[in-house]
A and B are shown apart, each in its own frame.
Chain A
Amino acid sequence: MKVKKRLKTLIPTLRERERYIAFQIISENPISYIDLEKNLWDVMEEFLGEYGLSKTSLWLIKNLYDSKNQMGIVKCNHKSLTQVLACLGLISRLGESRVVFKILKISGTIKGLRVNLFKGKN
C-alpha cells in the first residue's frame, strides 16, 4: 500500500481557531530575524514554561518578516492570545539592542493582516 507523504488536513470542527498578531519592533539598532526568533521562544518558555508554551501553538512566520520596517506576524491559537501578547511585552532586549513591541493589528486570518500591513510586498 502506498503511504501518502502529507497528513490529511483536520476537519474544520477539530481545527484550532487561529489569531495572527502583526507587530512592529522599535529598537535602538536593526534587528535580525534570528535574534527575534531566538528571544521570542526564550521569553515565552521562561514565562509560560514548556507545557504552557505547547498550549499556545506559537509560530513566527518567517517569510512575512519585513526586516526593513521591522514588522512581522506571530501566529497562535485564540485561547492563548493574551498570553502571547503579555510575553511580547516582556521582551526588552533583542541581541544587544533594547526594544519595544508595538502591536499593529490582531486578526483571525492572515489575509486580513496582509491586506492592511504588507501591501505590495507579496
Chain B
Amino acid sequence: MKFFDFHVHSAFSEGESSLEELVSMAKKLGYSGICFTAYPLRKKEENFLKVEIERVKKEFGVEILLGFEARNLRELKSLVRRRREFDVLLVRGGNLKLNRIACETPEVDILTHPEFGRQDPGLDYTSVKLAAKNNVAIEMNFREILVSTGRSRSLILKNIAHNLKLAKKYKAPIILCSGAITQWELRSPECLISMAVQLGLELREAKLAISKVPENIFKQIAERKSSDWILPGVKILK
C-alpha cells in the first residue's frame, strides 16, 4: 500500500525545513509521495519553487506535488482562476464562510483543519453533504493535535472526531495529513492511521484516507492536466 502526505509546509511557506530535509524524512518513514503546500506566491518565487521541486523529485525518486493553500476568499478566487497551473488546491479552514465556500467549490481538493482556532467543529451536515458532492476531502490534521496540550487538545480531538463522523455519514472523502512545518513534525503513516482510528474511523477507512483518497487526487490532477479537460465535469469526448 502506498502512503501520501498532502499537507507539508516547507521553508517556502512559513515552514522551517528545506525541501530535501522534508522529502528525505518522508522517504524514511515510508511515504511514496508528498505535496508541498505553499501560500500564494509571486510568479517568480512560484517558478523557482517548481524548478526546485523537479530537482528534488529527480534526486529522491518520490512523487512530489505542488499545492496552494488559500487563506481567504480573495486568494481562493484567484487560485481557482488559474487552477491548471498547480497540482493541489487546499483551503485553510477555520472560518465558517470559507469552510462552506470550500465545500461548494469543485476545484478545491482539500479543506484543511476546518476546526482550526474554533470552539465548534466548523462544519455542519449541509457543508459536508456539499463536500461529498464536490469531492472535497476533509482533512484530519495531526499537527493540530501534536502541538496542543490539555484542554485545548481535548477540544480539538472532540471537534475532529465530530467532523470525521459527519464525513463518514455523508460519504465525504477524508484525508489524513501531518500538516508538518518541519521534518520533525512528519509522522509515520501507522501513527496517523492509529490516531484516526482513535477518533472514530474504522481501520480500513483510515487506511483508505491516507492511501486511496490521495491516489484519487492524483487521478484528478492527471485528468486536469490533459488537453481534453475544460472545467470540473466538462471535458472533450473524442
A: residues with CB less than 8 A from B are 26, 28, 46, 81-86, 88-90, 92, 98-103, 106
Contacts and interface: CB of A to CB of B under 8 A. Distances in A.
Given A90-B145, A100-B25, A85 B190 contact: yes
> What bracket does the count of chain B residues touching chain A fall in?
20 to 34
Contacts of B185: 92
Given A100-B29, A100-B184, A102-B29, A86 B146 contact: no
A60 to B, nearest CB: 17
B194 A85 contact: yes
B37 to A, nearest CB: 19
A86 B146 CA distance: 10
16 contacts: A26-B25, A46-B149, A82-B194, A85-B193, A88-B191, A89-B142, A89-B191, A89-B192, A90-B146, A92-B146, A92-B185, A100-B186, A101-B187, A101-B191, A102-B28, A102-B30
B155 interface: no
B188 interface: yes
Interface of B: 25, 28-30, 142, 145-146, 149, 182-188, 190-195, 197-198, 203
A102 B146 contact: no
A86 B195 contact: yes
User: Which of the listed residues B185, B192, B194 has the most CB atoms from chain A within 10 Å of its own CB?
Assistant: B194
Contact of A101 (B188, B193, B203): B188
- Give 8 nearest A-B pairs by CB, closest first: A89-B191, A85-B194, A98-B184, A82-B194, A103-B190, A86-B194, A86-B195, A82-B197
Contact of B187 (A81, A83, A100, A106): A100
